[in-house]
């Protein structure tokens, strides 16, 4: 028995329907296809398997992407909070501009480390990072000068409660942090 003729003019048999002769091949995989299996795409006729839409790599994330994005967001947030607290001593109105700058920095850093991938989880991570950066800004002196003592003294909860009392007394802080979150989310896409 001789091998089947696969030259350009020879009739082939459809891979899905072996009883049907065809002269068509899938533009992607080269598998013989009949008119029932044919799916027309902008780049030519394809088989059903090759014509199936696929997610773009930009929208495909892995658990490693999420972990790296989360660690980056928290790390940058803590660093920005510490540096911001030092600047806040010199320029008291910096507290209004800080969430905006933190949102830009955290959003851009997370976007870069996850290779510009887009997903809702990255937006949540950046928003969380902006909130953490503001809390780190408010706890800044303790974080910068005595982080070990802050963690072991049991004063974290009372200090955070003091921050929330400050937010209730000055609701514009919520607006500033909200703008920072919005800017950060826009950077991630």
Pick from 3, 21, 4: nearest CA to 12: 21
Could you report the per-residue pLDDT of 11-54, keeping only the tens digit for each? 889 988 999 999 889 998 999 999 888 888 888 899 988 888 88
Q: What is the 3-state secondary structure (H, E, C) of 125-154?
A: HHHHHHHHHHHHHHCHHHHHHCHHHHHHHC
Does residue 3 form part of some domain? no
Same domain for 138 and 183: yes
Cβ-contact 156, 162 below 8 angstroms: no
Reported pTM: 0.71
Same domain for 162 and 75: yes
What range does the domain containing 23 cover?
Answer: 12-51
- CA gap 88, 82 in Å, rounded: 10
Q: Is 90 exceeded by the pLDDT of residue 99?
A: yes
The 3-state DSSP class for residue 178 equals: helix
């Amino acid at each position: 028995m001789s091998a089947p003729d696969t030259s350009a003019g020879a009739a082939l048999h459809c891979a899905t329907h072996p009883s049907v002769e065809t002269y068509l091949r899938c533009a992607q995989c080269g598998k013989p296809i009949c008119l029932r299996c044919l799916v027309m795409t902008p780049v030519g006729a394809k088989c059903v398997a090759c014509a199936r839409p696929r997610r773009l790599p930009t929208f495909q994330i892995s658990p490693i992407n999420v972990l790296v994005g989360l660690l980056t967001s928290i790390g940058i947030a803590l660093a920005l909070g510490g540096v911001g607290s030092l600047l806040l001593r010199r320029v008291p109105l910096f507290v209004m501009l800080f969430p905006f700058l933190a949102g830009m920095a955290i959003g851009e850093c997370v976007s870069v480390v996850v290779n510009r991938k887009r997903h809702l989880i990255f937006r949540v991570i950046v928003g969380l990072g902006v909130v953490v950066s503001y809390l780190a800004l408010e706890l800044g002196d303790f974080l910068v000068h005595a982080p070990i003592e802050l963690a072991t003294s049991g004063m974290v909860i009372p200090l955070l409660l003091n921050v929330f009392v400050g937010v209730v007394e000055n609701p514009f802080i919520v607006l500033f942090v909200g703008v920072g979150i919005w800017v950060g989310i826009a950077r991630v896409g």
